[in-house]
């Protein structure tokens, strides 16, 4: 087995192991934007990696709200163009949404008392106001799926909400590395400017052209 194949296997096992120790998931989507590009041809290996990760996103029932566990089951890949419903809620309502939805989801902690939850489709919950916008901090993009997912593992191990946005330009498939999920641009910009330490993040992953952008259509 080559070193590259071994690395891919280890990365995949790590993701599966993280998920096997908890329960849940997430989904939302973005549009084509000004993401910086790396001209590397898409490969069958990329497709296999994404297919394996998407296949591992199975519905799980949570008995209690444990943020680290719930984050471990958030979606790994978001496809550009997906319609979503978003909610800024407390931990009790976040758990209710995730348990009742039983599908892909995304969650990000905004403060000690509030969480941003994203689910696929047009969803309504009694007493909760639904939104449609999802913003993130794009760290980089490229056609090498393996590298993007290795970076996701790295970021999650440090406590960050991270995932990939999948989109196409022409016949080429790209993967954008996302850091965090936020209900509006101001919230994302605040985290970019005041909370996330990008210099520290750059010590462990290669980042270029980082900027705040919109994920949903």
Asked whether residue 1 carries a pLDDT value surpassing 90, the answer given is no
Which among 45, 49, 101 is positioned nearest to 73, based on CA atoms?
Answer: 101
- pLDDT for the residue 125: 93
Degrees, nearest 5: CA angle 77-149-121: 10
> Can you give the pTM of this predicted structure?
0.73
Residue pair 76/149 in contact (Cβ under 8 Å)? The answer is yes
Residue pair 215/136 in contact (Cβ under 8 Å)? The answer is yes
Degrees, nearest 5: CA angle 89-149-130: 20
Residue pair 54/82 in contact (Cβ under 8 Å)? The answer is no
Residue pair 102/84 in contact (Cβ under 8 Å)? The answer is no
Q: What is the pLDDT averaged over residues 118-143? A: 94
Q: How confident is the model at residue 176 (pLDDT cuts 50, 70, 90)?
A: very high
Q: Provide φ and ψ at 54, rounded to 5°.
A: -65, -35
Between 1 and 106, the more confident residue is: 106
Quote the radius of gyration of the chain (alpha carbons, Å): 16
CA trace torsion 156, 189, 136, 28 (10° rounding): 120
Domain that holds residue 151: 3-214
Between 164 and 58, the more confident residue is: 164
Number of structural domains in the chain: 1
């Amino acid at each position: 087995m080559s070193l590259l194949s071994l690395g891919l296997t280890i990365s995949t096992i790590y993701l599966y192991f993280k998920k096997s120790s908890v329960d849940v998931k997430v989904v939302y989507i973005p549009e084509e934007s000004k993401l910086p590009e790396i001209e590397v041809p898409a490969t069958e290996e990329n497709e296999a990696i994404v297919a394996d990760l998407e296949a591992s996103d199975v519905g799980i029932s949570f008995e209690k709200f444990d943020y680290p566990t719930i984050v471990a089951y958030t979606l790994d890949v978001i496809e550009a163009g997906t319609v979503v419903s978003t909610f800024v809620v407390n931990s009790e309502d976040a758990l209710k949404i995730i348990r009742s939805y039983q599908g892909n989801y995304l969650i990000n902690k905004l403060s000690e008392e509030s969480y941003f939850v994203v689910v696929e489709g047009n969803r309504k919950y009694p007493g909760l106001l639904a939104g449609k916008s999802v913003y993130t901090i794009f760290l980089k993009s490229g056609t090498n799926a393996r590298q993007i997912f290795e970076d996701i593992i790295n970021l999650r191990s440090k406590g960050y909400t991270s995932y990939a946005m999948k989109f196409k330009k022409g016949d080429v498939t790209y993967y954008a590395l996302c850091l965090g999920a936020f209900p509006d641009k101001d919230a994302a910009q605040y985290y970019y400017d005041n909370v996330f330490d990008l210099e520290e993040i750059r010590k462990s992953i290669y980042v270029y052209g980082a900027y705040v952008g919109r994920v949903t259509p």
